[in-house]
Amino acid sequence: MKVLGRGANVLVSDDGFDGVVTRLDHPSFRKVTRRDTRLEVGAGVDLIPLARRCSARGLSGLECMAGIPATVGGAVRMNAGGRFGEFSDVVRRVEVLGPDGRREFWAADRCGFGYRRSNIDGHLVLSAELELAEDDPARVRRKFEEFFELKRASQPLADQSAGCIFKNPNGHSAGALIDQAGLKGTTCGEARVSERHANFIVARRGAKASDVMRLIDLIRERVRALFSTELEVEIDIWKPVGVRERGG
Other CB atoms within 10 Å distance of the CB of residue 100: 5
Min separation Cβ 200 and ligand EPU, Å: 7
Min separation Cβ 110 and ligand EPU, Å: 23
Min separation Cβ 161 and ligand EPU, Å: 9
Q: Is 116 a catalytic residue?
A: yes
Closer residue to ligand EPU (CB): 85 or 112:
85
Using CB under 6 A, which of 96, 123, 163, 201 touches ligand EPU? 163
Q: Exposed/middle/buried for 11, CB within 10 Å: 0-12, 13-18, 19+?
A: buried
Contact between 187 and ligand EPU per CB under 6 A:
no
Using CB under 6 A, which of 153, 154, 224, 246 touches ligand EPU? 154
Of the listed 116, 141, 192, 220, which one is catalytic? 116
Min separation Cβ 171 and ligand EPU, Å: 11
Closer residue to ligand EPU (CB): 63 or 234:
234
Closer residue to ligand EPU (CB): 184 or 214:
184
Stretch binding ligand EPU (CB under 6 A), from 131-139, 192-200, 208-216, 223-231: 192-200
Buried b (16+ CB within 10 A) or exposed e, 12-40: bbeeebeeeeeebeeeebbebeeeebebb
- Residues 205-234, interacting with ligand EPU (CB under 6 A): 234
Buried b (16+ CB within 10 A) or exposed e, 198-214: bbbbbbeeebebebbbe
Closer residue to ligand EPU (CB): 32 or 48:
48
All residues at 6 or more sequence positions from 186 whose CB lies less than 8 Å from its CB, including other chains: 192, 193, 215, 218
Q: What is the largest CA-CA distance in the chain?
A: 53
Min separation Cβ 173 and ligand EPU, Å: 4
CA distance linking residue 164 with residue 120, whole number of Å: 21
Q: Give the helix/strand (H/E) hosting 97.
A: strand 91-97
Q: Which of 80, 70, 67, 75 is nearest to 150 (CA)?
A: 67
Q: Which residues bind ligand EPU (CB under 6 A)?
A: 82-84, 151, 154, 163-164, 167-168, 173-176, 179, 197-199, 234
